[in-house]
């Protein structure tokens, strides 16, 4: 079990604000973030490249 407890304080106009965050999971935070990024990437679909898209971005594309 991975557990991380972190606190941060900020003073705004003389008032001290303290935030506390806690992470507790079976996998390390780096592995968890990696899985979230990978899942997001797998769910996205690639844009179709067309001549119109290329011309709008001033890219010359020719097919032989």
Tens digits of residue pLDDT in 51-64: 666 666 666 666 65
Burial class (CB in 10 A: 0-12, 13-18, 19+), 32: middle
Structure tokens at 15: 């008032």
* Residues sharing a CB contact under 8 Å with residue 16, sequence separation 6 or more, in sequence order: 9, 10
Q: How confident is the model at residue 1 (pLDDT cuts 50, 70, 90)?
A: confident
Give the residue extent of every domain in the chain: 2-45
């Amino acid at each position: 079990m991975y557990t991380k407890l972190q606190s941060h304080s900020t003073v705004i106009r003389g008032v001290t604000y303290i935030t506390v965050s806690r992470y507790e999971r079976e996998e390390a935070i780096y592995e968890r973030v990696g899985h979230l990024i990978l899942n997001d990437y797998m769910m996205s679909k690639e844009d179709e490249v067309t001549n119109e898209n290329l011309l709008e971005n001033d890219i010359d594309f020719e097919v032989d």
